[in-house]
Amino acid sequence: MNRVQVATKSKVYDVCIKAGLRHLIGDAVKKVTEPVSSVLVITDTDVAPLYLDDVVLSFKNEYPVYTEVIQSGEASKSFSVYEQVMTKALESSLDRKSLIIALGGGVVGDLAGFVAATYMRGIRFIQVPTTLLAHDSSVGGKVAINHPLGKNMVGSFHQPESVLYDTEMLYSLPVKEWRSGFAEVMKHGFIRDLSFLNWLQEIKVIEEMPIEQLNTLLEKSISIKAEIVTVDEKESGIRAHLNFGHTLGHAIESD
Ligand code: GLY
């Protein structure tokens, strides 16, 4: 298991990186947080057919596990989908000891994290990223939905209890997804570590890299992010470096 500690002022937690980790989420929850009363797994229409059953089964019927599947895509970071998920949480009688699992890429992580930040004024959640790109957004506690007038304009800082990264799941991603995720990895090299950037440039076919190399790559990239959010959790200074390329990217996406 590769592991990175994220030590923010509001919470200290681990990012655990391991092939096949989705089958062990139930056990991992017991190790990383206080006992829970029930679980709501939030995922999307791309991920659910592939991995939702594995995650639900990992809880071995030890407590109620509810699921909510949202439409995949950025449009789901909306007030209406936020309300849909909140309704599911209320109908499932989630309480203050319940836990939300965000099983998906950045959209699911941001939305589920914002639901966790605001349901009953804040409950625990765990990020289970399923894309390479989400190695950035799943760490550091930025959670949000979009407003028609701007991306991520309604949100919070709410740190997860843990980030459980099953790198096996990344191998079902389309090449385009690997490339956009790799750009985010390179960003961490550009802003902080030239030797890491040089090492990344040796990788020829990113979607075919061996899983051990992928685990090392994620550990290194997430360590850079962890160092930054440790000193500046709420982006009053150096954390803005993590937005390198994002502002332009958001402008292109919204065009
Ligand atoms: N994705 C940029 C940040 O977490 O600050």
Contacts of 31 (CB under 8 A, 6+ apart): none
Helices (H) and strands (E) in the chain, counts: 9, 9
Measured in Å, residue 141 CA sits from the centre of ligand 1 at 8
Ligand 1: residue of 6, 127, 133, 137 to mutate (most ligand atoms within 8 A of CB) is 137
Q: Is the CB of 152 under 6 A from ligand 1?
A: no
Task: Please state the rounded mean pLDDT for residues 56-66.
Answer: 95
Measured in Å, residue 142 CA sits from the centre of ligand 1 at 7
Ligand 1 atom with least separation from CA of 136: 1
Q: Is the CB of 140 under 6 A from ligand 1?
A: yes
Measured in Å, residue 60 CA sits from the centre of ligand 1 at 34
Contacts of 87 (CB under 8 A, 6+ apart): none
Contacts 24+ apart (CB under 8 A), 186-193: 187/136, 187/242, 187/244, 187/245, 188/136, 188/220, 188/221, 188/224, 188/225, 189/221, 189/224, 190/244, 191/224, 191/241, 191/242, 191/244, 192/224, 192/227, 192/228, 192/241, 193/220, 193/224
Q: Interhelix angle for 79-91 vs 106-118, to 10°?
A: 60
Q: Is the pLDDT of residue 151 over 70?
A: yes
Q: Is the pLDDT of residue 225 over 80?
A: yes
Report CA-CA distances (Å) from 193 to 30, 171, 215. Answer: 35, 26, 18
- The residue among 34, 48, 47 whose CA lies nearest residue 126 is 34
Measured in Å, residue 218 CA sits from the centre of ligand 1 at 16
Domain count, the chain: 1
Mean pLDDT of the chain: 95
Measured in Å, residue 62 CA sits from the centre of ligand 1 at 35
- The residue among 17, 14, 13, 12 whose CA lies nearest residue 1 is 17
**Which pLDDT does position 108 carry in this prediction?**
98
Q: What is the CATH number of the domain that holds 63?
A: 3.40.50.1970
| Predicted structure pTM score | 0.94
Measured in Å, residue 233 CA sits from the centre of ligand 1 at 10
**Which pLDDT does position 255 carry in this prediction?**
65
| Residue burial 183-219, b: 16+ Cβ < 10 Å; e: rest | ebbbbbbebbbeebbeebeeeeebbebeeeebbebbb
Task: Please state the rounded mean pLDDT for residues 159-166.
Answer: 98
Ligand 1 atom with least separation from CA of 139: 4
Task: Please state the rounded mean pLDDT for residues 205-234.
Answer: 95
Q: Is the pLDDT of residue 165 over 90?
A: yes
Q: Dihedral sign, CA of 17, 48, 142, 217?
A: positive
Ligand 1: residue of 225, 230, 250 to mutate (most ligand atoms within 8 A of CB) is 225
Domain containing residue 230? 2-254
Ligand 1 atom with least separation from CA of 228: 5
